[in-house]
Structure 1
Amino acid sequence: MGLARIFRRENLDNYLKSDQHFAKTMSAKDLMSLGIGAVIGTGIFILPGTIAAQYSGPGIVLSFLLAAVVCSTAAMCYAEFASVLPVAGSAYSYGNLVFGEIIGWILGWALILEYVLAVAAVANAFGAYFKSFLAGFGVNLPTAITGPYDPSHGTYGNIIAILVVFLISWLLNRGMRESMRINNAIVIVKIAIIILFVVVGIFYVKPANWQPFAPFGSKGILRGASTVFFAYLGFDVVSASAAEVKNPKRNMPIGIIGTLIVATVLYMMVAIVLTGMVHYTKLNVADPVALALTLVHQNWTSGIISLGALAGMFTMMVTMIYSSSRLIYSVGRDGLLPKFLGKIDHQTGTPKHSLAVITVVIAVLGGFVPLAQLTNLVNIGTLVAFLFVSFGIIRLRHLDNLPHNTGFQVPFYPVLPIVSGLLCFYMMLQLPAETWIASSIWFALGLIIYFSYGLRHSRLNDQA
């Protein structure tokens, strides 16, 4: 088996045939809800304050705008792929279709890293937030069941983290129509809470707090932008749902680009009001939004902000568990992981086996493993996918056996995809050395699995 074999490309018709068993129930509104659910988490109540204090001052507003412009280049590349190739699996499937199986596998392995670690870390944080939320009502959970496995500190597992992962999995298993209804409702609550903060806070804004606007100069605004760039990651998970969307040519671009626009507006609104309420020098705390409300004697709103944080984490987990189950389904569909993972339940139209496996993995990691140091690995997994999707647009346009000019098209081609790829590579270079070392180990493990199992069991062998 030479180079030609591992770079063999999958056939689009095979994917469309396999994915036709999904129930096509999702609208553009559902996609935006999924995307906003993934992008807007607890970070919206923390990042505008801490980044303003450390790097950007009130100029944090421009940092968010700049980061959104950078992200939008990759978002448009995803939008083109998702509208012309409406298949499950996001960047993994795109890689298989335009670059070949080995690249698809690497992208899939990168996304597994992103999704699993992201949800496990958020489940962990959700457990901590929910514990303090209950404590506010006088309900104190035993320490032994509120943290990762660490007997020296008296914790043996985070029961809330485990239960919330299983609850979300149960919801998703019932079918996407019902899951989306619940997810959409919680996303509306989350946005309402963010708008409540803006509306209440705007009455306490003192324009003097916006002076100086850029205390650390343009360098500080750029540094802030490179830091908050990661706050926008998550819009890419929308593309994982392409096989379950009504009219994907129209709805996928709306879902992906619409997510980014709404997230940008919300981040900038919070940043403007927060830095107007409290001088940026006082915002380098763990909960800057709660601090701002306390300083203006609006303590009642702090409890609502905690509810918003919980809602933010919940919808993020819904989106990521959903996307990771579709990713594992796609890899199983192609035979690179055991084929039972690529089966769809005909009653509910969901991949039950892949959802069950990913739920157990995330519950174990979120409930028992301390994950605080692993968040940068989430970022590198995402950026690897962004990089290949960006340059993949150029390859897509040159392949005669794949559709062209049938859906959304990236403007300013080929300049914009190249700029997007180079920006993603630049962001990867900003990550610390230990992230590169840990991710190298992860990718080495992935290649071992591919050459020892995936290559021999691949569906492409049947088409030889």
Structure 2
Amino acid sequence: MNPSHTASSRPSRSLFRTKSIEQTIADAAEPGRQLKRTLSAWDLMILGVAVAVGAGIFSVGARAAGSFAGPAVTMSFLLAALACALAIMCYAEFASSIPVAGSAYTYTYATLGEFIAWIIGWDLILELLTAGAVIAKYWGIYLAMVFELFDVHIPTTIAVLGISVDWGPILIVGVFTCLLILGTKMSARVNNVFTLIKVGIVVFVIVVGLTYFDAANLTPFVPPPEPAVGGDAEAWSQSLLSWMTGAEPARYGVAGVLSGAALVFFAFIGFDVVATSAEEVKDPQRTLPLGIFGGLALVTLLYLGVAVALTGMVPYTVLAAADNPSLATAFVAVGADWAAQVISVGILAGLTTVIMVLLMGLSRVLLAISRDGLLPRWLSVTSETRKTPVRLQLVSGAAVALLAGFTQVEILEEMINIGTLSAFVLVSLAVVVLRRTRPDLPRAFRVPWSPLLPIVSAVLCFYLMLNLTTLTWVRFAVWLAIGAAIYFAYGRRHARVGLATGERA
């Protein structure tokens, strides 16, 4: 094996051995493990919109307004967008310099070392697997709602060996798994159609919502803080920061705006998934930054439009009183019950494209990890004709379908946020490291004011992580422990970087 698999001067037994960028790019061209470059800047922008604009735009903003921020939820969205934009700049610099699959995993392997790369890859698996299963589960729920709205009575659950199974999630995951196996470009075309439909529905909802706008509903813009009650006051439901500092559980006020930002950040996740497609993009140095930033700008405008329409339609107290507040809550409150049908169809269309992009992202992260030997290399084989990772796509689809169809995976919703934010933190720091270790590397896009902005990005994302619940952090710790065990039991001994130097760990 080529000894250039490791470019580090540190001992190869080190947990922080790195993989050279040149070898990373060379491995992407390995026969039998290649992907095909077919995506344009437009495809990438639509991918970003497709994965970000889902159920979150119809529900997360309403929950954040009612439970945390009040009318100032627009500030929560802006703060979350800022955190995402700073991190995405770091992704864009890496993706234009190292245009291969793997996203944050690949970038940290080249900068912060193998063990950290494995951990962040393991985090990405958590993010994409959980997100895919949660979204597929909700797709099945909204499918049932749409059936009822149009007076179609088809049961969405069936009994298999005495176990209740949701067939909707399994169906949609199966369809997109097949499409992704047939080719990324074909999947992108289907994705484009669904994305344009759901953006049209979102714009329609915003326009109609603004016709009920009442400026009085925006006062007070930042509601005064008040003690939390019920489940929000329990230790496991508190943010980790609140629990560590011993602060009394509360909502609203400035702290509520920040907690709202941590919640609505869920609506921005997915742009890191776009970076996983770097190996399938034409002219990546130019295309990746354009596609990523174009998608983020469009999504931010849509979210702000929804937030303004939502908080202008009804007082935030109406949303706070609802068990599961959503845009539909606001429309029903103003007597526009018909909008529930439009919103349900919009959510179903929105979730459809999210599932496709998450399935693609999960298989590409697994491709990069298995190509490096940290997972079995036989998984990374791609189709000779279509250049798609058939084995990994099937494994990804089966895992997501089983979780969505047979478990209550929706209780792990916040795990998606913590997996994403942890990746954002490390990628932001990795930009600073790569600037110092490889100043000669060609960069089609450079994060301005480095190292200041990358460090601000890391700090801001970590702060948002601290605003997630203590229960989420405990689950995250368990997931990391499982990942570390797999790395020491298998990955470290089979990593190609180690084997290239004759190491057997």
Q: Using the alignment, how far apart are the partners of 2:106 and 2:206 within structure 1?
A: 40
Q: Are residues 1:200 and 2:208 paired?
A: yes
Residues 435 and 456 of structure 1: is their aligned pair in 2 closer, same or farther, counting only changes over 3 Å? Answer: same
**Partner in structure 2 of residue 138 of structure 1:** 151
Q: Are residues 1:50 and 2:34 paired?
A: no
Residues 429 and 274 of structure 1: is their aligned pair in 2 closer, same or farther, counting only changes over 3 Å? Answer: closer
Counterpart of 1:313 (choices 325, 329, 351) is 351
Counterpart of 1:163 (choices 163, 171, 176) is 171
Q: Using the alignment, how far apart are the partners of 1:220 and 1:150 within structure 2?
A: 46
Offset at residue 180 of structure 1 (A) = 0.4
**Partner in structure 2 of residue 179 of structure 1:** 187
Counterpart of 2:483 (choices 446, 452, 456) is 446
1:12-49 per-position Cα deviation (integer Å, ceiling 9, x unaligned): 23332332332111111111111111111111111222
**Bigger helix share:** 1
Residues 159 and 446 of structure 1: is their aligned pair in 2 closer, same or farther, counting only changes over 3 Å? Answer: same
1:266-286 per-position Cα deviation (integer Å, ceiling 9, x unaligned): 111011112222222212332
Residues 66 and 6 of structure 1: is their aligned pair in 2 closer, same or farther, counting only changes over 3 Å? Answer: closer
Q: Using the alignment, how far apart are the partners of 1:220 and 1:358 within structure 2?
A: 37
SS in 2 for 1:252: helix
Counterpart of 2:409 (choices 339, 361, 371) is 371
Offset at residue 136 of structure 1 (A) = 2.4
- Map 1:21-420 onto structure 2 (within 5 A): 21-142=34-155, 144-145=157-158, 156-216=164-224, 217-284=253-320, 285=322, 286-400=324-438, 404-420=441-457
1:63-99 per-position Cα deviation (integer Å, ceiling 9, x unaligned): 2112211221111111111111101000111111112
Q: Using the alignment, how far apart are the partners of 1:429 and 1:203 within structure 2?
A: 38
User: Is the CA contact 1:127–1:159 (under 8 Å) kept in the aligned structure 2?
Assistant: yes
Q: Using the alignment, how far apart are the partners of 1:403 and 1:162 within structure 2?
A: 48
Residues 175 and 403 of structure 1: is their aligned pair in 2 closer, same or farther, counting only changes over 3 Å? Answer: farther
1:90-146 per-position Cα deviation (integer Å, ceiling 9, x unaligned): 011111111222111111111111110111111111111101211223333347529
**Alignment TM-score, normalising by the size of structure 1:** 0.93
Query: Which AA in structure 1 matches 2:168?
Result: I
Residues 342 and 202 of structure 1: is their aligned pair in 2 closer, same or farther, counting only changes over 3 Å? Answer: same
User: Is the CA contact 2:127–2:419 (under 8 Å) kept in the aligned structure 1?
Assistant: yes
Query: Which AA in structure 1 matches 2:266?
Result: F
Offset at residue 453 of structure 1 (A) = 1.3
Query: Which AA in structure 1 matches 2:144?
Result: K
Query: Is 405-414 or 109-118 further displaced after alignment?
Result: 405-414
Query: Which AA in structure 1 matches 2:312?
Result: G
Query: Which AA in structure 2 matches 1:333?
Result: R
1:206-230 per-position Cα deviation (integer Å, ceiling 9, x unaligned): 2222222222344443332233223
Structure 2 unaligned blocks of 5 or more: 1-9, 225-252
SS in 2 for 1:214: coil
User: Is the CA contact 1:194–1:266 (under 8 Å) kept in the aligned structure 2?
Assistant: yes
Q: Using the alignment, how far apart are the partners of 1:109 and 1:181 within structure 2?
A: 30
Q: Using the alignment, how far apart are the partners of 1:70 and 1:344 within structure 2?
A: 35
**Partner in structure 1 of residue 17 of structure 2:** 8
Q: Using the alignment, how far apart are the partners of 1:312 and 1:229 within structure 2?
A: 17
Percent of aligned positions with the same letter in both sequences? 41
**Partner in structure 2 of residue 18 of structure 1:** 27
**Partner in structure 1 of residue 461 of structure 2:** 424
Query: Is 376-385 or 168-177 further displaced after alignment?
Result: 376-385
1:369-426 per-position Cα deviation (integer Å, ceiling 9, x unaligned): 11132122222211221111010001111223x7535211111111111111112222
Q: Using the alignment, how far apart are the partners of 2:410 and 2:461 within structure 1?
A: 24
**Alignment TM-score, normalising by the size of structure 2:** 0.86
SS in 2 for 1:145: strand
SS in 2 for 1:398: helix
Structure 1 unaligned blocks of 5 or more: none
Q: Using the alignment, how far apart are the partners of 1:6 and 1:220 within structure 2?
A: 40
Residues 144 and 319 of structure 1: is their aligned pair in 2 closer, same or farther, counting only changes over 3 Å? Answer: closer
User: Is the CA contact 1:45–1:287 (under 8 Å) kept in the aligned structure 2?
Assistant: no
1:311-351 per-position Cα deviation (integer Å, ceiling 9, x unaligned): 11111111110000001111111111111111121211211
Residues 297 and 376 of structure 1: is their aligned pair in 2 closer, same or farther, counting only changes over 3 Å? Answer: closer
Offset at residue 296 of structure 1 (A) = 4.1
Q: Which segments of structure 1 move beyond 6 Å, counting only runs of 4 or more? A: none
Q: Using the alignment, how far apart are the partners of 2:112 and 2:258 within structure 1?
A: 33
The Cα RMSD (Å) is: 2.1
Query: Which AA in structure 1 matches 2:330?
Result: A
